Structure 1
Amino acid sequence: MKKKISLLLVVLMLVTFMPMSMAASEEKAIESTQNFTVNGEAVDIRAYIIKGKNYLKLRDAAAALRGTKAQFYVDYDNDKHLVSIETNKPYEDLSNIKTYSSQKELWATMRNMDVLIDGKEKKLKSAFIIETNFIELRDLAKLMGFDVSYNAKTKTVAITSDKVKMPCLLDFELEDFDGNKRNIADILAEHEYTLVNVWSTEYAQCKKELPDLTKLANDYNDKAGFLGVIQNIEPLTSTSSDFDKKTREENIAKAKSLLEKADAKYQNLCPSQAAEKYFNFKIKAFPTVFIFDSEGNILETFIGVGAYGFYEKYERALKKYIK
């Protein structure tokens, strides 16, 4: 009789504790010291290693995969109180704030997290670390369709997914000396990278660097785009006076003369009101040179004269991106 009672007690204890252990478990999470790349380019991702696997934030993964076929958008569905994922939609991290614990070792609560993926409820393996869900990288890779490999020699986690053409972030017009208009997005779409020189006919340094910019444009003609924006040729409006019109004509004449003297064949255009506003917000002095990608992102900014001379300064920058 005593043996039967003891056996019943054991069974009761197993039944009592089993659901709790199956529901969630605690595992040690160690901050990863591995490097991460997406299509060969280094990305800033904070990950934790749990039982040999990388776990990372959904938003970090979404930001890293932007512009690839595996891109996805992350949000929160207030009605269903679930994290929402939309596939094939670019994610833009607007917070610019990344908060992580300074501790290198933490405890993670392992569980399956309910999420909405294109409106359908699914589960993802999750590690809950300090009020934040971290997702297993390879689990996410299967779901979103990207590849993950590891180079033990360089300690690099390589994420690969075919790139997609992203729409340009910029939308304003520029015009030539005859009034023909072109959208900045169309200009940037012609090359993967474009050097844009914002200059004025009134400044000596702007004039001085034109021959070097011309030589650079000729040398890199098939590798990058080149564009000049003459900021002191102001756009005409319905309220422009005769003096404004005359000043504009004089500045156009100066620009033509300077460009002809430098034998500059690359495009030099005049700003619209929207373009003028955009560049005025970006520049602090003349000349200012930007390197844009085809999506309208500014990759490099040079204000005034550099220490290496005009040609060398801009060539060094272009070589970072042109393979």
Structure 2
Amino acid sequence: MNRRWPLFLLLISLLFSLSGCGSDEPGKQGSTKAVALTPGQPAPDFTLTTMSGQTVSLADLRGQKVFLNFWASWCPPCKKEMPDLQKMSRKYEDKVKLFGVNITHDDTLELAERFVLEQALTFPQLIDKDGAVQKAYGIITVPVSVTIDEEGKIVERRIGQLTHEQMEQMFQTLMMTTKQP
């Protein structure tokens, strides 16, 4: 057997873990045909329920800065970035509304709730049961982070696990956006 084969497999595995988690099953996120959102474009409106039962509508958040993080309990990169997201939720709690969006359509509520407990997350977690928000935001792999300004426009969209520095940069860029008079 070629001695380079294990190294090749390790590199492929590493690339997969850095790029995010996806699914190729029919009807699952990997087969979703969606257009990626671009900066300046209006963010698709949605109304979802949090794990604690509160209803959140993006339209009701108009006038506030919003950070959305799409995730699933089975996604290793999602798990790795959650401690930093928790820190950001505390640091920016008075300036940015941070929400996790569980792709419950490709997950289960029970696993998602366990994930939130294990990660000790205190910022609100939205449940996308039917995948409508996943599709509207063009989410075909997780994690994905999206920032939205006070006017409801996309500021930035990043695919894959974020480092602490990348998150900080996204929050800082969002903070520099100002509401137009």
TM-score normalised to the size of structure 2? Answer: 0.65
Q: Which of 313-322 and 193-202 deviates more? A: 313-322
Q: 1:210 maps to which residue?
A: 82
Contact (CA 8 Å) 1:230, 1:268: kept in 2 or not?
Answer: yes
Q: Of the candidates 282, 292, 295, which is equivalent to residue 148 of structure 2?
A: 292
SS state at 2:174 partner? coil
- Which amino acid in 1 is paired with 2:120? D
SS state at 1:305 partner? coil
Q: 1:189 maps to which residue?
A: 62
Q: In proportion to residue count, which structure has more helix?
A: 2
Aligned positions of 1:141-160 closer than 5 A: none
Pair 1:172 & 2:25 matched: no
Q: 1:266 maps to which residue?
A: 123
Contact (CA 8 Å) 2:44, 2:136: kept in 1 or not?
Answer: no
Q: Of the candidates 301, 313, 321, which is equivalent to residue 157 of structure 2?
A: 301
Q: Shift of the alpha carbon at 1:296? A: 2.4
Equivalent residues, number: 134
Contact (CA 8 Å) 1:174, 1:182: kept in 2 or not?
Answer: yes
CA distance in 2, matches of 1:284, 1:303: 9
Contact (CA 8 Å) 1:284, 1:303: kept in 2 or not?
Answer: no
Contact (CA 8 Å) 2:73, 2:79: kept in 1 or not?
Answer: yes
Contact (CA 8 Å) 2:144, 2:160: kept in 1 or not?
Answer: yes
The percent of aligned pairs where both chains have the same amino acid is 28
- Which amino acid in 2 is paired with 1:266? F
TM-score normalised to the size of structure 1? Answer: 0.38
CA distance in 2, matches of 1:214, 1:177: 16
Q: Shift of the alpha carbon at 1:215? A: 0.6
Contact (CA 8 Å) 2:78, 2:161: kept in 1 or not?
Answer: no
Q: 2:135 maps to which residue?
A: 277
Q: Shift of the alpha carbon at 1:260? A: 1.9
- Which amino acid in 2 is paired with 1:209? E
Per-residue CA deviations over 1:254-304 (Å, capped at 9, x if unaligned) read: 22222222221111011254323313xx22321000111133211111111
Contact (CA 8 Å) 1:290, 1:301: kept in 2 or not?
Answer: yes
Q: Shift of the alpha carbon at 1:208? A: 1.2
Aligned positions of 1:44-55 closer than 5 A: none
Q: Shift of the alpha carbon at 1:169? A: 5.7
Pair 1:316 & 2:169 matched: yes
**What 5-or-longer segments of structure 1 have no aligned partner?**
1-167, 235-246
Q: In proportion to residue count, which structure has more strand?
A: 1
Distance 1:210 1:190, change over 3 A: farther
Contact (CA 8 Å) 1:190, 1:225: kept in 2 or not?
Answer: no
Contact (CA 8 Å) 2:68, 2:99: kept in 1 or not?
Answer: yes
RMSD (CA atoms): 2.3
Distance 1:295 1:170, change over 3 A: farther
